[in-house]
């Protein structure tokens, strides 16, 4: 991608909304409709067909109603679009430089105090802000986390990234593009729905004083609106997945309308999209993945095409 600072207004617009020959003439923003929203719509069409046929498919096998998969798909789409809106992803490089021998040695020997001071000064020298009291939050063979930064050894380089915060991205997107009722509870929704479903395959419940907050998804009737009920000390947030999908779709359409004429939003979109599209992880120094890559190359020497499952 051309340097964002050097791109003209027309080039920025075309990057987002014009067919790109390097992508088989696919329009980047339209990918959101065709793939992200398209996959969800395909699933919902199947759910609706299943419901209309009273839960029967030709093979008579029991099927789920989409109460797990559709909210996960919607959460995935929401997270991606929110990252484009905020211009923040897990792959935006703050800066990169060669690893000094001193830092490499201190890293290998886990000299935490020396590392902390060295990394803090290195980050400040690049004009970036870091908490003066920041200490190393975690460290592994190839990664250090300090304050809001991830420092990684990648392909012989020291690459510094800002920590990715999906919760903040999504919260901002919901607060701007979703209806008032959802704007009131963006963080409950994201943590309870997305984090609960992705990590435990069940919505995450919360306790507030003597009350419990729980989520439930239903597909019985697309006309039934999402609502909140309270039984004893349980607050139940019931969400119709058809309605949730339509809210997301409208939010994305509203985002597109603003994106077409807002150069600041276009800059964020381009920065975020390019960071994902152009990111390639070097695995030369990753023992496990390198060994697997060697196996693939060894098999491909015998034939330029082979079956994973014989």
pLDDT of residue 30 exceeding 70, the answer is yes
Q: Is residue 309 part of a domain?
A: no
Q: Is residue 293 part of a domain?
A: no
170 and 159: one domain?
no
Q: Which three-class secondary structure state does DSSP give residue 144?
A: strand
12 and 56: one domain?
yes
pLDDT of residue 62 exceeding 60, the answer is no
Cα separation, 209 vs 192, whole angstroms: 17
β-partners of residue 214 are 236
Greater confidence, 76 or 45? 76
Q: Is residue 284 part of a domain?
A: no
Report the pLDDT value the prediction gives residue 161, as an integer from 0 to 100: 93
CB 224 within 8 A of CB 213: no
pLDDT of residue 13 exceeding 90, the answer is yes
pLDDT of residue 277 exceeding 80, the answer is yes
266 and 221: one domain?
no
Q: How far is CA 270 from the centre of its chain?
A: 16
112 and 72: one domain?
no
- Look up residue 26 and give its DSSP letter: B
In this prediction, residue 124 has a pLDDT band, given cuts at 50, 70 and 90, of very high
Domain holding 195, by residue range, is 166-241
In this prediction, residue 52 has a pLDDT band, given cuts at 50, 70 and 90, of low
Mean pLDDT for the stretch of residues 152-159: 87
Instruction: Return mean pLDDT, the chain.
Output: 89
Greater confidence, 49 or 134? 134
pLDDT of residue 141 exceeding 80, the answer is yes
Mean pLDDT for the stretch of residues 34-39: 92
Q: Which of 163, 194, 220 is the last residue of a domain?
A: 163
Report the pLDDT value the prediction gives residue 3, as an integer from 0 to 100: 87
Q: Which of 217, 241, 265 is the last residue of a domain?
A: 241
Report the pLDDT value the prediction gives residue 50, as an integer from 0 to 100: 64
10 and 75: one domain?
yes
40 and 54: one domain?
yes
Strand blocks (E) in 57-165 = 93-98, 136-139, 143-146, 149-154, 157-162
CB 82 within 8 A of CB 166: yes
Token pair listed for 225? 């609106």
pLDDT tens for 216-265 read: 887 766 777 889 999 999 999 999 888 999 999 999 999 999 999 999 99
Q: Is residue 34 part of a domain?
A: yes
Query: Can you state the angle between helices 38-52 and 69-86, rounded to 10 degrees?
Result: 160
Report the pLDDT value the prediction gives residue 156, as an integer from 0 to 100: 80
Greater confidence, 199 or 52? 199
Residue with tokens 């001193």: 102
Mean pLDDT for the stretch of residues 69-87: 93
Mean pLDDT for the stretch of residues 51-58: 57
Cα separation, 146 vs 170, whole angstroms: 23
CB 197 within 8 A of CB 71: yes
pLDDT of residue 113 exceeding 60, the answer is yes
Q: Is residue 285 part of a domain?
A: no
Cα separation, 160 vs 93, whole angstroms: 6
Residue 92 burial (CB count, 10 A): 17
In this prediction, residue 53 has a pLDDT band, given cuts at 50, 70 and 90, of low
Highest mean pLDDT of the ranges 55-59, 82-86, 196-200:
82-86
45 and 9: one domain?
yes
Q: Which of 241, 269, 293 is the last residue of a domain?
A: 241
Cα separation, 197 vs 219, whole angstroms: 17
Report the pLDDT value the prediction gives residue 64, as an integer from 0 to 100: 59
CB 88 within 8 A of CB 161: no
pLDDT of residue 56 exceeding 80, the answer is no
Report the pLDDT value the prediction gives residue 287, as an integer from 0 to 100: 87
9 and 84: one domain?
yes
β-partners of residue 228 are 237
Domain count, the chain: 3
Report the pLDDT value the prediction gives residue 51, as an integer from 0 to 100: 62
Q: Is residue 295 part of a domain?
A: no
Residue 275 burial (CB count, 10 A): 19
Q: Is residue 296 part of a domain?
A: no
Average the pLDDT over each of 42-46, 162-166, 204-208 and give the range with the smallest value.
Answer: 42-46
Phi, psi for residue 212 in degrees, rounded to 5: -115, 135
Q: Is residue 68 part of a domain?
A: yes
Mean pLDDT for the stretch of residues 74-98: 94
Q: Which three-class secondary structure state does DSSP give residue 156?
A: coil
Q: Which three-class secondary structure state does DSSP give residue 64?
A: coil
């Amino acid at each position: 991608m051309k340097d964002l600072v050097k791109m003209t207004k027309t080039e920025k617009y075309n990057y987002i909304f014009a067919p790109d020959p390097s992508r088989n003439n696919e329009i980047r923003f339209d990918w959101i409709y065709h793939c992200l929203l398209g996959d969800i719509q395909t699933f919902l069409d199947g759910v609706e067909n299943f419901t209309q046929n009273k839960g029967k498919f030709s093979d008579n096998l029991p099927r789920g109603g989409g109460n797990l998969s559709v909210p996960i798909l919607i959460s995935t789409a929401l997270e991606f679009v929110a990252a484009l809106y905020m211009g923040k992803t897990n792959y935006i490089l703050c800066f990169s430089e060669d690893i000094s021998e001193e830092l490499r040695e201190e890293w290998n020997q886990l000299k935490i105090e020396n590392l902390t001071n060295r990394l803090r000064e290195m980050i400040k020298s690049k004009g970036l802000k870091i908490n003066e009291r920041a200490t190393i939050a975690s460290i592994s063979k190839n990664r250090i986390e300090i304050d809001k930064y991830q420092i990684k050894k990648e392909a012989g380089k020291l690459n510094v990234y800002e920590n990715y915060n999906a919760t903040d991205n999504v919260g901002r997107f919901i607060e701007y593009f979703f209806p008032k009722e959802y704007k009131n509870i963006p963080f409950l929704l994201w943590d309870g729905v997305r984090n609960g479903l992705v990590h435990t395959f069940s919505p995450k419940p919360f306790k507030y004083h003597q009350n419990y907050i729980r989520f439930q998804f239903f597909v019985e009737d697309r006309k039934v609106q999402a609502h909140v009920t309270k039984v004893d000390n349980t607050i139940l947030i019931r969400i119709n997945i058809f309605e949730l999908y339509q809210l997301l779709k409208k939010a994305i359409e509203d985002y597109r309308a603003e994106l077409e004429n807002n150069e600041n939003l276009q800059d964020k979109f381009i920065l975020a999209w390019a960071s994902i599209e152009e990111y390639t992880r070097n695995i030369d120094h990753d023992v496990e993945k390198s060994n697997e890559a060697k196996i693939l190359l060894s098999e491909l020497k015998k034939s330029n095409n082979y079956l994973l499952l014989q």
